[in-house]
Amino acid sequence: MLEKAEELTGLFKNKAEQAKKSADIEKLRVEFLGKKGHLSSLMQELRNVPNDQKKEAGQKINDAKQFIENAIAKRLAEIKEFEEKMIVEQAEAYDESMPVTTDFGSYHPITLVKNECENIFRSMGFTVEDYSEITDDYNCFEALNIPKHHPARDMQDTFYLSSGQLLKTHTSAAQNTILRKYKSSLEKGNPIRAIFPGRCFRNEKIDACHENTFFQMEGIMVDKDISISNLIYFMKTMLSEVFQKDVTVRLRPGFFPFVEPGFELDIQCLICGGEGCSSCKNSGWLELCPCGMIHPNVLMAAGIDPEEYIGFAFGLGLTRLAMMRYGVGDIRMFNSGNLKALSQFTDKSFKKPEDEGRHN
Ligand code: DAH
């Protein structure tokens, strides 16, 4: 027993010399002094020592324990001092004139797709509008022909703020503001052509194809003589540009209180090519862009005479578009903050949009 206590002290000394970091010392502490550590087992062996030797053996174990405790405290203090010194030295060695060696950042895939769409729509004469993420009941619902208690409100599980405002559930929430902004210009003979991309929020259960925070891009065009064919033309042109090929789309009737008639514009799933996969819930199609002809009540709410003017609106799912554009099978990747995954998207044809074109 006496030798064993000495052996243990020897073993500790060896290991302590090799310990270089405070984490190594912590490991040693557990190994020697922990509940299931060497010293504990030695204490248990004390039971088997003959009574007349117990006292001396106990004393030896205690000495060893004391020694190890002290040595750990001492070594830890030394290491800590060294570590702190290194930090200071490194800070002092910092030379701001040295060339930067860190990697450059990368654009988020949704930013890439958003910028691409902005560029395409700009080239077709649309302005790009910014709009707040916080809005109110009037803009998000009422002005869009969704009165209180309308069942359509249940389609969008809204996050309300304690201020009585809410987080916008769709980019349509900016329609009233933008229509008002360009009303007088419209009356002077200039059609309204505007897109307003933005982040939207809904209290949704998250899975591979649903997120509570996602991006849409709303578009409106209002003039004296607009028809559904104008809408189809703009959507087809834009999607073919984004995907650099003729995409297959279909229109289905869809109900939205702020358009009449309303449609669902579906795009054939580009991940599975229409075969069916988890992203398109095995249907081969993805709902990409609900749209329609702006409801007269929406124009009226903005002070525009529906007898004289007509327009179309669409709400493009930007997040969905990014999934298809880059073949991303799980929507959760976008908000994951996983830089390794998010930095792999690049776009050589991507041009940074010019800021002058942006209307705030
Ligand atoms: N705001 C609708 C939503 O997020 C989408 C939408 C439907 C927008 C039809 C439109 C439209 O502009 O015409 O559910």
Q: What is the pLDDT of residue 91?
A: 81
Residues 114 and 220 in one domain: yes
Distance CA 177, CA 302 (A): 8
Record the tokens describing residue 38, joined without a space: 């060497």
Statement to judge: residues 235 and 299 lie in one domain: yes
160 and 76 in a single domain? The answer is: no
Q: Which range marks the domain in which residue 271 is found? A: 110-343
CA of 163 to the centre of ligand 1 (A): 26
6 & 153 share domain: no
Asked whether residue 358 is assigned to any structural domain, the reply reads: no
| Three state DSSP letters for the chain | CHHHHHHHHHHHHHHHHHCCCHHHHHHHHHHHHCCCCHHHHHHHHHHHCCHHHHHHHHHHHHHHHHHHHHHHHHHHHHHHHHHHHHHHHHHHHCCCCCCCCCCCCCCCHHHHHHHHHHHHHHHCCCEEECCCCEECHHHHCHHHCCCCCCHHHHHCCCCECCCCCEECCCHHHHHHHHHHHHHHHHHCCCCEEEEEEEEEECCCCCECCECCEEEEEEEEEEECCCCHHHHHHHHHHHHHHHHCCCCCEEEEECCCCCEEEEEEEEEECCCCCCCCCCCCCCCCEEEEEEEEEECHHHHHHCCCCCCCCEEEEEEEEHHHHHHHHHCCCCHHHCCCCCHHHHCCCCCCCCCCCCHHHEEC
Task: Name the domain count of the chain.
Answer: 2
295 part of a folded domain? yes
Atom number of ligand 1 nearest to Cα 171 = 1
- The pTM assigned to this predicted structure is 0.68
Domain assignment present for 294: yes
Nearest CA to ligand 1 atom 3: 170
The reply to whether 327 falls in a domain is yes
pLDDT tens string, the chain, 360 residues long: the values are 778 888 888 889 888 888 888 888 888 999 999 988 898 888 888 888 888 888 888 898 899 999 999 999 988 888 888 888 888 888 888 777 877 766 667 899 999 999 999 999 999 999 999 999 999 999 999 999 998 888 777 767 899 999 999 999 999 999 999 999 999 999 999 999 999 999 999 998 999 889 999 999 999 999 999 999 999 888 888 888 887 877 888 899 999 999 999 999 988 887 788 899 887 889 998 788 999 999 999 999 999 999 999 999 999 999 988 988 888 889 999 999 888 888 888 764 444 444 334 443
- Report whether 279 contacts 268 (CB < 8 A): no
314 lines ligand 1 (CB under 6 A): yes
For ligand 1, say whether the CB of 291 is within 6 Å of any of its atoms: yes
Residue 164 maps to a domain: yes
- Residues 19, 32: Cα–Cα separation, whole Å: 14
Q: Dihedral of CA 71/72/77/79: which sign?
A: positive
355 lies in some domain: no
Task: Please check whether residues 65 and 209 belong to one and the same domain.
Answer: no
Q: Residues for the chain: how many in total? A: 360
CATH code of the domain covering residue 267:
3.30.930.10
Same domain, 194 and 231: yes
Instruction: Name the residue of 170, 199, 298 whose CB sits within 8 Å of the most ligand 1 atoms, as the mutation to test its pocket.
Output: 170
Asked if 288 contacts 280 with a C-beta cutoff of 8 angstroms, the reply is no
Q: Could you tell me if 64 and 151 lie in one domain?
A: no
Tell whether ligand 1 has an atom less than 6 A from the beta carbon of residue 146. no
Is 104 within the bounds of a domain?
no
Q: Are residues 61 and 157 in the same domain?
A: no
Closest CA to 218 of 246, 177, 270: 177
CA-nearest residue for atom 14, ligand 1, is 170
Shared-domain flag, residues 260 and 147: yes
Is residue 179 within 8 Å of 302, Cβ to Cβ?
Answer: yes
Judgement on whether residues 291 and 243 belong to the same structural domain of the protein: yes
User: 187 and 250: one domain?
Assistant: yes
Do 83 and 184 reside in the same domain of the chain? no
Cis preceding-peptide flag for 261 (omega within 30 of 0): yes
Residue 126 lies in a domain: yes
